[in-house]
Amino acid sequence: MQLTGTVVFWRDDKGFGFVLCQQNAQKLFFHIRDFAGSQGRPQQGDQLQFSLGTDKKGRAIAAPWRFATEPAAAPRSLPKHSSLSGRPVSSSADIEQASQFALFFRLAFFLAVLLSLLFGKLLYVLPLLYVEASLMTYWLYKIDKEAAIARHGNRLAEESLQLFALIGGWPGAYIAQQQLAHKRSKISFRREFGFVIIGNTLLVAWLVSPWGQAFLARMALLAG
pLDDT in tens, 174-216: 999 999 888 887 888 999 999 999 999 998 899 888 898 888 7
Task: Give residue 152's pLDDT.
Answer: 59
**Higher model confidence: residue 86 or residue 4?**
4
Closest CA to 176 of 162, 187, 188: 162
**Higher model confidence: residue 148 or residue 4?**
4
pLDDT in tens, 131-176: 999 999 999 999 888 877 766 566 788 898 999 999 899 999 999 9
Task: Give residue 224's pLDDT.
Answer: 59
Kindly report the number of other CB atoms within 10 A of residue 115's CB atom.
13
49: alpha, beta or left, given left = phi > 0 and alpha = psi -120 to 50? Answer: beta
Alpha-carbon dihedral sign for residues 92, 98, 104, 109: negative
Task: Give residue 136's pLDDT.
Answer: 94
What burial class does residue 161 get, using C-beta atoms within 10 Å of its C-beta: 0-12 exposed, 13-18 middle, 19+ buried? buried
pLDDT in tens, 105-127: 989 988 988 888 777 787 888 89
**Higher model confidence: residue 38 or residue 97?**
97
pLDDT band at 102 (very low <50, low <70, confident <90, very high): confident
Domains of the chain: 3-77 (2.40.50.140), 93-223 (no CATH)
What burial class does residue 19 get, using C-beta atoms within 10 Å of its C-beta: 0-12 exposed, 13-18 middle, 19+ buried? buried
- pLDDT tops 50 at residue 85: no
Task: Give residue 131's pLDDT.
Answer: 94
- Are 49 and 65 in contact by the 8 Å Cβ rule? The answer is yes
pLDDT in tens, 29-78: 999 888 887 667 888 899 999 998 888 888 899 989 889 875 444 444 44
Model confidence, pTM: 0.59
- SS3 of the chain: CCEEEEEEEEECCCCEEEEEECCCCCEEEEEHHHECCCCCCCCCCCEEEEEEEECCCCCEEEEEEEECCCCCCCHHHCCCCECCCCCECCCCHHHHHHHHHHHHHHHHHHHHHHHHHHCCCHHHHHHHHHHHHHHHHHHHHHHHHHHHHCCCCCCCCHHHHHHHHHHHHHHHHHHHHHHHCCCCCCHHHHHHHHHHHHHHHHHHHHHHCHHHHHHHHHHHHHHC
When mean pLDDT is compared across 15-19, 41-45, 87-91, 160-164, the lowest value belongs to 87-91
Task: Give residue 101's pLDDT.
Answer: 87
